[in-house]
């Protein structure tokens, strides 16, 4: 009997151990698959986001081109014929001269508005002269009346990939706009500097601040901050809100810069 029991038990034990090993193996395999699936989904989400952002930029570029080439041209032509009309009217009907002049100045204003809008839609400066110049231009344009916007920037800014440049620029644009629109700030500082392998962009204002939790809970809030987050998710960036009600805000963007540190400083020949 002892032998039967011993052998039977041994067989059972082998089966039990087999089951334990099988459960462990199978479960771990499933978990790995699940993780891989999640990663894939995350990657897909990022790609979708990147594609959306790119499509947005394309669309902007198209609108800017149409504005500039079609409406701009039409307006110029209109101005030409208005000038002709003006000359005819000056001789025959001096009373209408005033009206023609008024129309002309309205037209001029419209032309410069169209040019401004089409230039704002596409960050031409960014593409031609780089991030620092684009931010300088942004600061200059945003400074208006009471509001003073200033760029502070360490002199050694490495060359960044074009999509990083664009992302940082768009974010700086939104943050500056927010500070002007909501904070009632008079001094805004856009700060750009680099650490090894990392670029930091922060926008600091001296306005009245806000409560981040409250804003994030608000379902009807604007798109600005959300867009910043989705833009950053594409490039694995990180945003830190150092904000509170009753004091100025500081919003810091951290972006990894995988490129080797290539200095932008012009080499002296």
Ligand X SMILES: Nc1ncnc2c1ncn2[C@@H]1O[C@H](COP(=O)(O)OP(=O)(O)OP(=O)(O)O)[C@@H](O)[C@H]1O
Instruction: Give residues in contact with another protein (CB under 8 A).
Output: 1-2, 4-6, 8-9, 12-13, 15-17, 19-20, 23-24, 26-28, 30-31, 34
Cβ of 117: how many Cβ atoms within 10 Å? 14
Give min distance, CB of 68 to ligand X, in A: 24
120 within 8 A of 138, measured Cβ to Cβ: no
Q: Which of 265, 242, 266 is nearest to 252 (CA)?
A: 242
Residue 137 is a binding residue for ligand X (CB under 6 A): no
Partner touching 34 among ligand X, another protein, Mg ion, none, CB below 5 to 8 Å by kind: another protein
Residues 33-52 that bind ligand X (CB under 6 A): none
Residue 207 is a binding residue for ligand X (CB under 6 A): yes
Give min distance, CB of 186 to ligand X, in A: 13
Our CB check for another protein shows the closer of 38 and 45 to be 38
Residue choice 82, 111, 224, 241 for contact with Mg ion (CB under 5 A): 224
Partner touching 1 among Mg ion, ligand X, another protein, none, CB below 5 to 8 Å by kind: another protein
Residue choice 60, 119, 163, 182 for contact with ligand X (CB under 6 A): 182
104 within 8 A of 79, measured Cβ to Cβ: yes
Partner touching 31 among another protein, Mg ion, ligand X, none, CB below 5 to 8 Å by kind: another protein
Give min distance, CB of 227 to Mg ion, in A: 8
131 within 8 A of 192, measured Cβ to Cβ: yes
Residues in contact with Mg ion by CB under 5 A are 178, 222, 224
- Residues of this chain that bind ligand X (CB under 6 A): 178-179, 181-183, 205, 207, 209-210, 215, 221-225, 249
């Amino acid at each position: 009997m002892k032998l039967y029991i011993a052998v039977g038990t041994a067989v059972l034990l082998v089966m039990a151990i087999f089951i334990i090993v099988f459960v462990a193996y199978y479960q771990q395999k499933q978990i790995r698959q699940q993780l891989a699936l999640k990663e894939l989904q995350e990657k897909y989400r990022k790609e979708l986001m990147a594609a959306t952002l790119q499509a947005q930029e394309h669309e902007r570029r198209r609108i800017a081109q149409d504005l500039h080439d079609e409406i701009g041209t039409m307006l110029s032509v209109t101005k030409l014929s208005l000038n002709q009309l003006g000359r005819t009217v000056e001789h025959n009907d001096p009373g209408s001269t005033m009206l023609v002049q008024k129309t002309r100045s309205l037209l001029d204003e419209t032309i410069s508005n169209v040019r401004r809008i089409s230039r704002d839609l596409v960050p031409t400066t960014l593409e031609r002269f780089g991030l620092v110049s684009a931010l300088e231009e942004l600061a200059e344009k945003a400074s208006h009346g009471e509001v003073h916007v200033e760029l502070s920037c360490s002199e050694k800014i490495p060359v960044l990939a074009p999509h990083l440049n664009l992302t940082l620029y768009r974010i700086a644009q939104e943050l500056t706009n927010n500070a002007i629109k909501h904070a009632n700030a008079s001094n805004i500082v856009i700060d750009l500097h680099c650490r090894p392998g990392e670029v930091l962009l922060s926008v600091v204002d001296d306005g009245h601040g806000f409560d981040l939790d409250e804003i994030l809970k608000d379902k009807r809030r604007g798109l600005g901050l959300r867009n910043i987050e989705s833009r950053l998710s594409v490039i694995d960036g990180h945003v830190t809100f150092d904000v509170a009600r009753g004091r100025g805000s500081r919003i810091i963007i951290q972006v990894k810069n995988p490129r080797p540190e290539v200095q932008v400083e012009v080499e002296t020949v």
